[in-house]
Amino acid sequence: MTGKSAQKHIYQQPGFFNQVICASLGSLSGIIASTGGTFSAVGIPSFERDENAPFIMGESEKAAFNSVLLLAMTFGPIVGPFMTTLEGPRTILLLLLLPIIASWLMLAFGDTIYVFFISRTILGMCGGISSSIGQIYLTEITSVEVRGFISSTGMLAQCWYAFIGSVAALFLSWRGLAILNAVLMTVHLLLAFLFPESPTWLLRKSTEMKARRALTFLRGKENVEVELLDLQSRVAKSKVHSQKFLDLLDR
């Protein structure tokens, strides 16, 4: 790295903006944790005040509703990384948005406590899966110069969506808040179609042309051959030293 490039601000790095907008998908786990937690904090009290609520939620049911999200999230990271052997991280995150949207709509229009719990479980599972896959995506799309900032976008998204939910709760009922979250996730879904797949994953699948196009978009420049060669070398080494799930049982 030359002295001139070392003095660049982070936002002046090639492809910084493109990597930031792609990070909005990689930070999905933080968004789920934030929206789910905010709904527990402001949505449930609104539900209790609603005279037209479909049912009455007792104290034990409220406690279970608030905790089932975190409980479901613990199972996601176990299966998440192995899903990337089938599809790329960007594709998996995109597909996860479908049940996430469905979970918020179930919450908005559900009329029993069981529907609420199913919705919460779906949201938690998706949050757990996206926690590991999202970090993989963030790591593999970013350049070294901006990787530290991009890796923190999960926490930034968590704070930002908590702020949105708290402000929205001043004007919206619990049902409106759930619909708002479904709309926001739909926006993420539409944007995700514009984002490239992980170049590293594409190289693992021997699709060099697609990897070059993805890297060109992420770096905001045409000449990416040096980085592409470096990625190819890393992928080749990783295949030699690849591990399997059963290796966890080996001494």
Asked whether residue 7 is domain-assigned, the answer is no
Per the structure, the complete domain to which residue 155 belongs is given by: 15-196
**pTM for this structure?**
0.86
State pLDDT tens for residues 51-107: 888 888 888 888 888 889 888 888 877 777 778 778 889 999 999 999 999 999 999
Asked whether residue 141 is domain-assigned, the answer is yes
Asked whether residue 84 is domain-assigned, the answer is yes
- Is the pLDDT at 1 greater than 50? The verdict is no
CATH number at 174 reads 1.20.1250.20
Asked whether residue 1 is domain-assigned, the answer is no
Alpha-helical regions (H) of the chain: 3-6, 16-26, 28-38, 44-49, 59-73, 76-83, 89-109, 113-141, 147-151, 153-168, 174-192, 199-204, 208-219, 225-240
Q: What is the pLDDT of residue 42?
A: 92
- Is the pLDDT at 155 greater than 60? The verdict is yes
Q: What is the pLDDT of residue 242?
A: 57
Asked whether residue 70 is domain-assigned, the answer is yes
Number of structural domains (the chain) is: 1
- Return the top range by mean pLDDT from 50-59, 146-155, 192-201, 214-223: 192-201
The residue that leads in pLDDT, 162 or 224, is: 162
Asked whether residue 241 is domain-assigned, the answer is no
As a whole number, mean pLDDT of residues 183-200 equals 92
Asked whether residue 82 is domain-assigned, the answer is yes
As a whole number, mean pLDDT of residues 222-244 equals 73
Asked whether residue 251 is domain-assigned, the answer is no
State pLDDT tens for residues 97-147: 999 999 999 999 988 999 999 999 999 999 999 988 988 898 888 888 888
State pLDDT tens for residues 22-53: 888 989 988 998 999 899 999 999 988 888 88
Which region holds residue 197: left if phi is over 0, alpha if psi is between -120 and 50, else beta? beta
